[in-house]
Amino acid sequence: MNPRYAPLFEPLALRSGITLDNRIVVAPMTHYTSRPDGTLTDEELHFIARRSKGAGMVVTACAYIAPGGKGVAGEPAADRDEMIPELRRWARVIQAQGTKAVLQLHHSGRNAAPGLVPNSDVVGPSAVKDEAGGFVLPRALTPYEIEELIRQFGDAARRAVIAGFDGVEIHGAFGLLLQQFYSPHGNRRQDRWGGSVEKRLTFPLAVIDEVKKAVATHADRPFIVGYRFTPEEATTPGLTMADALRLADALAERELDYLHVLTNDYRSRPRRGADSTRTRLELIKEVVGSRAPVIGGGSIYTADEALEAYETGVDLISLARGLVIDPDWIEKIKQGRETDIETMLRADAQQRLVIPDPLWQMIWGDPGWFPGTS
């Protein structure tokens, strides 16, 4: 291996007691390939296995924690105990590649697909539609339903423990339910669950506490609990970078194993609410400090881009599209073959890259999403 990239392969000890072999994380990749009941297909297991070797940690595609939280067709489920054998298969496929397996837990909230949830009952913190293209006007959750959702996140974490995962990641990003509760756009409530910034934080922090309680109760081994979030929203009112830094500070106080920042590009800078001469990752890491490792990524395709992202100060880097294009990305750097990394998706490469049909169709149906498809 070129010694220039050695920092990417240093181990990292997490708060839970688990040590990651290196600083490279396979980010969650939705592949639209699970069956309608949320059970797993061989295609999706082959897809993730092909991309797991050599990573320090793999975070799965998001699994819904309640029937009403399903966002797109082909999502896997973690909403009932009958799914534990399926989750066990998932964990083992990843761990067989010599890495840690982390199950991502989510609820889509107002972004759930009406045709995929019971009675087309789409819910959110408030009856406010997603301006970015939500399906329908959601129904505002009742206080009882909010408490029930918190419990369901904890139950899903319990299932991950029993299934043999090494951890869970709470999905608070991408405009989904937890972000909706924190957002002044999605949350217009005036009860204990909304209003001030502190009250808008109540639901995400309660979910974290419930998940950690479930882990403490059921895990007989070190177990990772992480949290993923999106720094800003384009809407006004909406989350600003100042809100993201407030959230990062609150999350860092929760003694999590890591904070996973979702950005489309690791070089991205704030829209509003913070110093726009610095990257979002730099600002977040400065606030978090040594209280929790920070994972950053977005638009990383080459070894040099990975190193540049790491040098923003984050503790780990995440890869998604880069590993879809080249599943051997990590191994090529280890072998000193970083110049052989593929950075453009080829139209004739589906079989060689083990990409399921639904994901392949989504990629080519959205020109420009991946390099080589525009």
- What is the residue-wise DSSP string for 57-106? EEEPSPEESSGGG--STT--B-SSGGGHHHHHHHHHHHHTTTSEEEEEEE
Residue 338 lies in a domain: yes
Dump pLDDT digits (tens) for 6-20. Answer: 999 999 999 999 999
- 137 membership: H or E segment, kind and range: none
Dump pLDDT digits (tens) for 33-86. Answer: 999 999 999 999 999 999 999 999 999 999 999 999 999 999 999 999 999 999
Closest residue by Cα to residue 87 from 118, 112, 65, 57: 65
Residue 373 lies in a domain: no
What are the structure tokens assigned to 113, written together? 């697909």
Please say whether the beta carbons of 169 and 227 come within 8 A. Answer: yes
Residue 371 lies in a domain: no
Closest residue by Cα to residue 64 from 108, 124, 94: 108
Residue 309 lies in a domain: yes
| pLDDT for 236 | 86
Residue 370 lies in a domain: no
Residue 369 lies in a domain: no
Categorize the per-residue pLDDT at 361 as very low, low, confident or very high, splitting at 50, 70 and 90. Answer: very high
What are the structure tokens assigned to 65, written together? 């924690």
| pLDDT for 134 | 64
Categorize the per-residue pLDDT at 131 as very low, low, confident or very high, splitting at 50, 70 and 90. Answer: confident
pTM of the model: 0.97
- Checking if the pLDDT of 125 tops 90, the result is yes
Mean pLDDT for the chain overall: 97
| pLDDT for 70 | 97
Sequence-distant (6+) residues with CB within 8 A of 98 are 21, 53, 54
The position carrying tokens 């910034």 is 197
- What CATH number is associated with residue 326? 3.20.20.70
Closest residue by Cα to residue 101 from 92, 113, 109: 92
| pLDDT for 356 | 98
Categorize the per-residue pLDDT at 133 as very low, low, confident or very high, splitting at 50, 70 and 90. Answer: low
> What is the distance between the alpha carbons of residues 125 and 187, in angstroms, rounded to a whole number?
5
Residue 353 lies in a domain: yes
Dump pLDDT digits (tens) for 234-274. Answer: 888 999 999 999 999 999 999 999 999 999 999 999 999 99
In this prediction, residues 88-117 reach a mean pLDDT of: 97
| pLDDT for 173 | 97
Split into its structural domains, the chain has a count of: 1
Residue 79 lies in a domain: yes
| pLDDT for 106 | 98
* Residue 102, domain extent: 3-364
Q: What percent of the chain has pLDDT over 90?
A: 97
- Checking if the pLDDT of 132 tops 90, the result is no
